[in-house]
Amino acid sequence: MLGVLGPSHGIPQLFLRGSYLREHGARSRTWFGTNTRHAVNFLLYFAHGAPLGMTNEALDDGMADAFSALVGDDCIIGDGFFGPGTFLRTACNTNHWPEDDNPDPQTAGTILSGAFWDLRLLAGMPTAEHVHHFAKYGLPDDPDNGIAFNEMFLECLIADDNDGQLVERDTALQFDRHRLQQPRHRDQLLGARRPHAARRPANVGAVPDQPRRCSTRAPLAGSGPVTLFYSINGSAFESRPMLPTGNPDEYGAEITATSYGIVKYYIRAQDVYGGTRVEPAGAPTRDIHAFVAGPSTTAISLDMETNPNWVVGATDDLAATGVWVRADPYGTIAQPEDDHSVLGTQCWVTGNNPSPDPGLDDVDGGKTTLTTNAFNATVDALLHPIISYWRWYSNNTGDAPGLDTWRVDISSNGGTTWVPIEATTASSTMGGSAPCS
């Protein structure tokens, strides 16, 4: 649940060292990655006119992890770092932009390393090494992860191009698996080819922030229409155009007034090239924003500081590790150190091992179930009861990233039958715990 250097760099000894490391054990590869892989990025950028080297940390970490994976022909980064059977990160992942972007640059960088490893599997090592190496000559970089990643994608397309058919190249296909490409990029490149010695994609801005601070972080060459889609109490989605509010980079729209209920919404922005992005990513099927409208009265509130006597385990549970436990969580790259509440420390967590290795106590072997005790949803004559909870779900690390499913069901007959509330494989680790109603 939880390229290879060539003599043109002036340091061909790193190429020889990399070849040596392909034939030796995991700890040698770990040493190589720790001490030289970031120097590869810095020295190339510095030698070609970037005095500070590659400055975006997520880009640097992603390219460094990809370098380690390609040199060792092994997607595991830091194999055995914490002991036998452990590792730091893996390029064998299904991480997507922007869902799996993360304040931790090493975690965010796995989106990029995953794309390069997929390219290695599909097109072979020579192509992957060639693209990884020559893409850096365009010096893609930006403080914003979205812009930096998309600049790198453009440079990888150019490095992979030998016939002008950018749409069909293996690089485009594999980067698309990690959602690192948009149709507008191909249109721009097909319409204006540039020689390798003079290529540098322009920083063309980002989708303006929306009310409630909704935004995407991918570069756009001019913004087109911005549309709000919303649903009230499960009705069909309606749309409203979002118009400039007068504040810089801010668009707004009004949702039809309702006296009560749950409002779900998402935002779609389009650029002048026809490319689109939605916020949250994958909406409305993969993720959605929601809030409760109208006056409300809290009938039951549980902060988990006191044991609510919920039941851990079900008859068909098979998880050997990562079983639910109420505890003060340890911080790892897969989960935060603190629970959601301002006061208190306790929450339910699947496994709670102090080791920083995310694969050591994740859910393995089967599912683990947590069942609440029964409660009266019509207490105090509530007309429209709503159940809400906060969750942090990490599914982009560990031994099988992207393959586990988070499920929430509800029963009104003591557990005889269940109605699904949530079923998703999407991680929700950006911006804190996610509210669900």
Give the count of beta carbons closer than 10 Å to the beta carbon of residue 310: 14
pLDDT above 80 (res 276): no
pLDDT above 70 (res 29): no
pLDDT above 80 (res 274): no
Residue 223 bridge partners (DSSP): 271
pLDDT above 60 (res 47): yes
- Strand duo 406-410 + 419-424: pairing: antiparallel
Give the integer Cα–Cα distance in Å for 111 and 149.
9
Residues 362-414 pLDDT 10s: 888 899 999 999 888 777 667 778 888 888 888 876 666 677 888 999 998 98
Q: What is the model's pLDDT at position 167? A: 42
Q: Alpha carbon of 338 to those of 97, 227, 342, 430: distances in Å? A: 25, 36, 9, 14
pLDDT above 90 (res 324): yes
Range of weakest confidence among 59-68, 125-134, 165-174: 165-174
Q: Which of 175, 97, 95, 114 is nearest to 396 (CA)?
A: 95
pLDDT band at 298 (very low <50, low <70, confident <90, very high): confident
More confident residue, 159 or 239: 239
Q: What is the model's pLDDT at position 179? A: 67
Percent of all residues in the chain with a pLDDT value above 70, rounded to a whole number: 73
Cβ neighbors of 256 (< 8 A, separation 6 or more) are 230, 232, 238
pLDDT band at 136 (very low <50, low <70, confident <90, very high): very high
Q: What is the model's pLDDT at position 54? A: 92
DSSP SS3 for 311: strand
Residues 261-270 pLDDT 10s: 788 899 988 7
Cβ neighbors of 334 (< 8 A, separation 6 or more) are 1, 2, 358, 362, 394, 397, 398
Average pLDDT over residues 32-48: 73
pLDDT above 80 (res 93): yes
Place of tokens 């804190």: 432
pLDDT above 90 (res 306): yes
Contact at 8 Å (CB) between 12 and 6?
yes
Classify each residue of 336-356 as buried b or exposed e, where b means 16 or more C-beta atoms within 10 Å of its C-beta.
Answer: beebbeeeeebbbbbbbeeee
Residues 218-247 pLDDT 10s: 333 346 788 999 998 889 999 999 888 888
Q: What is the model's pLDDT at position 395? A: 80
DSSP SS3 for 143: coil
Residue 393 bridge partners (DSSP): 428
Going by the DSSP 8-state scheme, the letter that residue 330 receives in this structure is P
Q: Which of 397, 424, 392, 426 is nearest to 108 (CA)?
A: 397
Q: What is the mean pLDDT of the chain?
A: 74
